[in-house]
Every structure is written in C-alpha cells, then in structure tokens.
C-alpha cells in the first residue's frame, strides 16, 4: 500500500515537472520572439555595419560610449550607497534593540507600496532647491531611494538567519557594535550584499524615469534616455532603422552580461535569507 502511494506521488511529481517545463518553454518562446525581431531588424540593409556605425559615430555631439559610462557611474555609485544604507539598517532592525524598532520597520515596509512617479514632484523641488538638478547625483539618490525599502527587507531577513550569539560573544570580548558589524556580520552577509548590489546595478541600467526627469544635457544622458536621441538622430528610413535597432541591442548588453556573470550570487542571495534555523 505504501509502495503504491509512493509511486503515485512520484507520478504526480513527474507530471507537475512536465507541466512546469512546458510553461517555461512557452514563456521562453514568447520572450524570444521580440528579441529575434530586434536582432533581425538591426541587421537590415547594412548588416553588422550598423553596429560599427553606431559605435563610431556621435549622436547629438556625444559618442556612443559616453552613454555607457554615464549609466555605469550611476549604477555603481547607487549600488554602493544602497548596500551601505541597507546593510546598516538591516543589521540594526535585526540585532539591536531600540525604542520603536518594530514601528519604524513597519513604516519602511509600507514604503514598498510607493512607486517612483509619485516621488517625482517632491524630488524635483528638493533637487532644484539644493542645486542638484541636471546632475548625476540627483539620479543616483533617486534610484537608491526607491530601492531602500526592498534592500532593508532583504538584508534584515538575511541577518535574522545569523545567530545573535555572535554579537553577544563579540561584546564579551570588548568589541563595539560597529566593530561587530564590520568584522563579523558584514563579511558573513556577502551573498546578500552581492545580490543586492547586482540587482541595483541592473535596475539602474534599465531605469528610464529618473534620468529622463532629472537630466536635460545630452552629454549627461544614460543609455535608456539616449534611445530618444537615437530615434531623432537616425530617423525611420530603412537604412537608419537598422542603426536604431542596433543601438537598442547594444544598450541592452550590459544588463544581460551582468545577470549572466552574477546569476549564482543572485540565486544564493535570494535563498540565503529565506530559511531560518
């Protein structure tokens, strides 16, 4: 009887696995169709010469690589700032007792419901007043700000999985809370830190709203905002349409490469804080 039940469960498991594989294959096909269309259109008329043209010619007086540099600077600095803030906050909410800890943490979680467009007007006023408008600092701060609630949640969940005895032992040895954080907990949080940094870099490279709202100079544009410049510069003739699609392919490469290289860290970071001892 038990053997029959085990066989039935195994059959159900195999059936569910087959259904999941079919669903994933269908999603892969659906995702691949627009990608294939983009690649095909980027090779129209002049083939790979479209890519060479995009890489070697300026758009509105700005070389193509400059947009990549701007995006990379924004992404890396936003990731560093986010990791710094969220690591401290996550550690504090997880391992330090202070008045109003639960209330403040719940307020932070409530901020997950706030979307970027809602913050545009107040941020615009703040940056104008602080003379930060039309600078990369405005974009970096905005991209970091919108991700902080998620980052705090993620880092707190990870630190919750680390034993409090580590902090107590370091306190007995005379270490301060800051020393305990940097010498014990932060090194152990490497998977979550790398995961959060990689996600922020990917999101920054794909962000369109904040660079569009807070940057007006062509030389300061990121790759996502530069798409409009490409469209205006190349036009919609058959020859220029291939160049335009080639530019779209090129600006998508960094996010894809980052994801492929950091896929292991992303998976480990997501699962590391999911299960608590």
What band does 276 get if pLDDT is binned at 50, 70 and 90?
very low
| Interatomic CA distance for residues 197 and 125, integer angstroms | 28
The mean pLDDT value for 239-263 works out to 82
CA-only gyration radius of the chain, Å:
24
pLDDT at 275: 44
Query: Residue 83 pLDDT more than 90?
Result: yes
Q: Which pTM value belongs to this model?
A: 0.82
Q: At residue 7, does pLDDT exceed 70?
A: no
User: Could you tell me which of 26, 145, 12 has the C-alpha nearest to residue 81?
Assistant: 145
């Amino acid at each position: 009887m038990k053997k029959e039940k085990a066989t039935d469960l195994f059959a159900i498991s195999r059936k569910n696995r087959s259904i999941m594989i079919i669903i994933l294959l269908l999603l892969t096909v659906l995702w691949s169709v627009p990608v294939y269309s983009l690649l095909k259109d980027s090779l129209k008329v002049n083939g790979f010469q479209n890519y060479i043209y995009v890489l070697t010619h300026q758009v509105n007086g700005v070389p193509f690589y400059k947009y990549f540099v701007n995006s990379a600077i924004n992404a890396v600095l936003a990731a560093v700032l986010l990791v710094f803030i969220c690591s401290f906050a996550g550690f504090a909410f997880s391992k330090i007792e202070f008045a109003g800890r639960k209330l403040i943490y719940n307020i932070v979680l409530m901020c997950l419901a706030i979307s970027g467009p809602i913050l545009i007007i107040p941020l615009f006023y703040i940056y104008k007043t602080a003379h930060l408008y039309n600078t990369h600092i405005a974009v970096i701060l905005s991209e970091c700000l919108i991700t902080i609630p998620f980052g705090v949640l993620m880092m707190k969940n990870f630190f919750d999985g680390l034993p409090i005895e580590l902090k107590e032992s370091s306190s007995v040895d005379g270490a301060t809370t800051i020393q305990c954080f940097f010498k014990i907990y932060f090194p152990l949080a490497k998977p979550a830190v790398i995961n959060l940094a990689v996600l922020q870099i990917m999101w920054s490279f794909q962000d369109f709203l904040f660079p569009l709202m807070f940057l007006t100079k062509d030389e300061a544009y990121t790759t996502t905002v530069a798409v409009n410049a490409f469209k205006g510069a190349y036009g919609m003739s058959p020859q220029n349409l291939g160049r335009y699609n080639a530019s779209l392919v090129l600006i998508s490469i960094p996010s894809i490469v980052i994801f492929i290289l950091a896929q292991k860290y992303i998976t480990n970071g997501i699962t590391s804080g999911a299960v608590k001892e």
